[in-house]
Amino acid sequence: MKLSIALLAGDGIGPEVIDQAVKVSDAVAKKFGHEITWKPALTGAAAIDAVGEPYPDSTHDICKNADAVLFGAIGHPKYDNDPSSKVRPEQGLLKMRKALGLFANIRPTFTFPSLIDKSPLKRERIEGTDLVILRELTGGIYFGEKGRRDGGETAYDNCVYTREEVKRLAKKGFELAMTRGKKLCCVDKANVLETSRLWRETVQAMEKDYPEVKVSYEFVDAVAMRLVQWPNSYDVLITENLFGDILTDEASVISGSMGLMPSASIGTENQLFEPIHGSYPQATGLNIANPMATVLSAAMMFEMAFDLQEEGAAIRKVVNKALAQGMVTEDLADGGKAFGTKEVGDWLAANI
Ligand code: IPM
Ligand code: MN
């Protein structure tokens, strides 16, 4: 198969972890007889520095025309503490999500048997955890009619959802649940918010089309609690943009390291794959960042964007092998030997 993949390394540790995912993907392609053409493009602070904006049209064209997008991370500390900054790397991410129509963000949380004791939660709480949070990604308070300040003293952000937006996300959730444990939890705050009541009403109306799926409705605050008490009780969770942002960070640490969790953002035409961690500026250039989340994002890309299941499985297998053998970066070394980002990537590619 010929695959054309847009490569957006971004900022901080982005380029380092992306390099490893490229190596591993190339090794998989070689083994299974595929030909990958990588199409590098600028994004984030790196793009602001080069051309003055975080998601330039040239990058959009490359993403639009590629079979998939592999994304590193964006964000740079020089923008974080400057609220007056007009242009910010994160705007690039939001613009890209909207422009590519990436309305569903899929963030799985699963455990690795060899790492179970690295989790901040007790083994018995997390054993068997295998859940997916489906976060709505192009609506809600992130994109409501422009946030504003009145006279400098009052600030507004608007949370807006249409029934159609809820429906298309929920449809993905029901479909995903059908391929897994057939349980769907709609996470909302319907006791307070009108948008949440629209979510609940819309999902309730869809239940009859998926009679095998057991649907529950839970408030976001309760879910935040249950996620750390009984994460293994969940299968698929669907939720709006901001709740999803918060809950996916919470869920990401259950496995023992945020450096392990991949994600996919899908839309009607384009699909993007990225680690859920950020740009980790303090580690930039130090060859210490864990590349596994990005490598596993490449596995999701093979499986979801190209329907190449064996190729994805080969990547997952080699990552598990590396974890079991201690071929890990410092975040997982636990006092033992820590390997560099590049060394872990080389090992994974060589062992595919
Ligand atoms: C994420 C990030 C982004 C978000 C930021 C960087 C805008 O936290 O992908 O979860 O809030 O969506
Ligand atoms: Mn986030």
pLDDT digits (tens, 9 = 90+) for 207-252: 999 999 999 999 999 999 999 999 999 999 999 999 999 999 999 8
Candidates 80, 245, 246, 258: which one to mutate for ligand 1, based on the most atoms within 8 Å of Cβ? 245
pLDDT digits (tens, 9 = 90+) for 131-183: 999 999 999 999 998 767 777 888 889 999 999 999 999 999 999 999 999 99
Note the pLDDT of residue 236.
98
**Residue ranges with CB less than 5 Å from ion ligand 2:** 245
Domains of the chain: 1-100+270-352 (3.40.718.10), 109-259 (3.40.718.10)
Q: Looking at the CA of 98, which ligand is closest?
A: 1
Note the pLDDT of residue 147.
66
Q: How far is the CA of 249 from the centre of ligand 2 (A)?
A: 6
- Any catalytic annotation for residue 82? no
Nearest to 236 by CA among 251, 225, 256: 251
- Any catalytic annotation for residue 142? yes
Which residue of the set 245, 321, 342, 346 is catalytic? 245
| Cα separation, 346 vs 63, whole angstroms | 27
- Any catalytic annotation for residue 280? no
Candidates 87, 93, 280: which one to mutate for ligand 1, based on the most atoms within 8 Å of Cβ? 93
* Residue 140 token pair: 């809600």
Note the ipTM here. 0.99
Going from the first residue of the chain to its last (352 residues), give the mean pLDDT of each consecutive group of 10, the final group possibly shorter.
98 98 98 98 95 96 98 91 82 94 96 87 94 98 82 88 98 97 98 98 98 98 97 97 95 86 94 95 96 98 97 97 95 92 98 97
Beta-bridge mates of residue 216: 185
Do the beta carbons of residue 91 and residue 75 sit within 8 Å? no
* DSSP character at residue 221: H
- Any catalytic annotation for residue 49? no
Which residue of the set 26, 130, 249, 346 is catalytic? 249
Nearest to 67 by CA among 262, 235, 272: 272
Rg, Å, the chain Cα set:
20
Cβ(249) to ligand 1 under 6 A?
A: no
- Any catalytic annotation for residue 217? no
Q: Looking at the CA of 74, which ligand is closest?
A: 1
Cβ(130) to ligand 1 under 6 A?
A: no
Positive or negative, the CA dihedral 312, 343, 5, 31 is negative
Environment class of 254 (CB within 10 Å of its CB; exposed 0-12, middle 13-18, buried 19+) = buried
Cβ(258) to ligand 1 under 6 A?
A: no
| Cα separation, 97 vs 69, whole angstroms | 11
Q: Write the residue with the smallest CA distance to atom 11 of ligand 1.
A: 245
Beta-bridge mates of residue 110: 130
Cβ(245) to ligand 1 under 6 A?
A: yes
Distance of CA 189 to the CA centre of its chain: 23
Instruction: Give every CB contact of residue 261 below 8 A, 6+ residues apart in sequence.
Output: 107, 108, 109, 252, 255, 275, 276, 277, 293, 296
| Cα separation, 347 vs 20, whole angstroms | 10
Note the pLDDT of residue 85.
77
Cβ(90) to ligand 1 under 6 A?
A: yes
Q: How far is the CA of 75 from the centre of ligand 1 (A)?
A: 10
Q: How far is the CA of 304 from the centre of ligand 1 (A)?
A: 22
